[in-house]
């Protein structure tokens, strides 16, 4: 089967690649483009470890086909920091020890950023329901939720402190 040629934008860069018709966006990112920050925890849309932004929408990269990407724009965890300055969410995750093994972290950060872009002042419940598609087996979510709330506060310009 001939591969499909796709021209797209990834993290602001024009990118071209060839992929099989059944390869997912996640396969393309990880195997073709070597952007391995997005993780595969399930391949079925159930864990959120592969969360990326597609044309400004939060999606599971394992549920999108690579061949569908022509002319679209993808943002991944690799583009979350601004040069050497971490995004406030990234910093707050470190300050709150909101990761243990860290394999869920890229997906959760991408998802949390999508939340704060939409809703800069979420309640704890809103954070919990928004992140309900992102599994973390290590932390019990407590420190993740605190880090997101703290980052939101800082981004709104409120003075907060990490515990």
Partner 1 sequence: MPNDVKTGSLAPDKKLKWVGTRPLRPDGVDKVTGRAKFGADFSLPGMLIGKVLRSPHPHARIKSIDTSKAEVLPGVKAVVTRDDFHDMESEFVPAGEMLVNYRDMVRNVMAREKVLYDGHAVAAVAATSNAVAKRALKLIEVDYEPLPHVIDVLEAMEPDAPLLHEDMITAGVEPAPDKPSNVAKVVEFAIGDVEAGFAQAEVIVERTFQTKPVHQAYIEPHACVASVSEDGQAELWCTTQGHYVVRGHCARLLGMDVSKIRVTASEIGGGFGGKTVVYLEPLALALSAKACRPVKMVMSRDEVFRASGPTSGAHMRIKVGATKDGRITAAEADLKYQAGAFQGSPVQPGAMCAFAPYDLENVKVVGYDVVTNRPKVAAYRAPGAPISEYAVECVIDELARKLGLDPIDFRLANAAKEGTRAAYGPKFGPIGLVETLQEAKAHPHYTAPLGPDQGRGVASGFWFNIGGETCAALNINEDGTAALMIGTPDIGGSRASLCMMAAEELGIDLDRIRPIIADTSSLGYTFLTGGSRVTFASGMATIDAAQDAVRQLCERAAKIWEIPSDAVEWEDGYAKPAGANAGDFEPMSLAEVAKVAGKTGGPIVGHAQINAQGAGPSFGTHIVDVEVDRETGRVTVVRYTVVQDAGKAVHPAYVEGQYQGGAVQGIGWALNEEYIYGEDGRLENPGFLDYRIPVASDVPMIDTVIVEVPNPRHPYGVRGVGETPIVPPMAAITNALADALGIRFTELPMSPPKVLEAIGEAAAGG
Residues that bind partner 1 (CB under 8 A): 20, 22, 30-31, 34-44, 46-47, 49, 76-78, 80-81, 86, 90, 93-97, 99-106, 109, 124-125, 127-129, 131-146, 163
Whether 24 and 61 have beta carbons less than 8 Å apart is answered as yes
Structure tokens at 66: 């690579």
Q: What are phi and psi of 19, to 5 degrees?
A: -145, 160
**Per-position x/- string for 77-116, each x denoting binding to ligand FES as judged by CB under 6 A, each - no binding:** ----------------------xxxxxx------------
Name which of 71 and 102 has its Cβ closer to partner 1. Answer: 102
Q: Which residues contact 159 (CB under 8 A, 6 or more apart)?
A: none
Smallest gap, in angstroms, from Cβ of residue 108 to partner 1? 9
Name which of 5 and 129 has its Cβ closer to partner 1. Answer: 129
Q: Which of 124, 8, 139, 14 is nearest to 66 (CA)?
A: 8
Report the partner that residue 132 touches, choosing among partner 1, ligand FES, none (CB closer than 5 to 8 A by kind): partner 1
CA distances from 27 to 5, 80, 135, 158 (A): 15, 20, 20, 40
Of 51-80, which residues contact ligand FES (CB under 6 A)?
A: 60, 62
């Amino acid at each position: 089967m001939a591969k499909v040629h796709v021209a797209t934008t990834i993290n602001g860069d024009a990118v071209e690649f060839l992929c099989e018709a059944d390869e997912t966006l996640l396969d393309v990112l990880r195997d073709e483009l070597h952007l391995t920050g997005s993780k595969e925890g399930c391949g079925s849309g159930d864990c959120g470890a592969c969360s990326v932004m597609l044309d400004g929408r939060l999606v599971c990269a394992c549920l999108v086909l690579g061949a569908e990407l022509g002319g679209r724009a993808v943002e991944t965890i690799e583009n979350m920091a601004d040069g050497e300055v971490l995004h406030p969410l990234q910093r707050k995750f470190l300050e709150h020890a909101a990761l243990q093994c860290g394999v869920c972290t890229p997906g959760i950060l991408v998802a949390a950023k999508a939340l704060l872009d939409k809703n800069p002042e979420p309640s704890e419940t809103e954070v919990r329901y928004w992140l309900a598609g992102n599994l973390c087996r290590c932390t019990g979510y407590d420190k993740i939720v605190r880090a997101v709330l703290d980052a939101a506060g800082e981004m709104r310009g409120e003075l907060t402190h990490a515990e």
